[in-house]
Amino acid sequence: MDEDKAKKQKPKDTGEGDKPETDAELERQNDVPERMEKATAERNALLDREDKREAEKAIGGESEAGLPPVKPEVLSDIEYSKKVALGEANPLAEDGFK
């Protein structure tokens, strides 16, 4: 019965509002903005490196525009007939049929 009374009693109002009870809690809350600033700085550095890498790639000719065109595979008549027989090639694909 004493336990029920203890649970029902309201906490004492110290007049200090929502002040953290310990300095450790306050320090932990103050560390959050610092960690966020550090993470943001690291993210910005990574984005700058990525932008620089993409620019170098475009200038260096490693982009898609600088690649030579892919040549289609040329099959002999015998190889083509074997692929058609195995179902690997569609003879009607050139005409737009699937």
Question: Tens digits of per-residue pLDDT, 16-69?
Answer: 666 656 677 778 888 888 899 999 999 999 999 999 998 887 777 555 666 777
Note whether residue 11 is domain-resident: no
In this structure, is residue 12 part of a structural domain?
no
The predicted pLDDT at position 94 comes to 73
58 vs 85 pLDDT, higher one: 85
Separation of first and last alpha carbons in the chain: 82
Give domain status of residue 81, yes or no: yes
For residue 76, tell me if it sits in a domain: yes
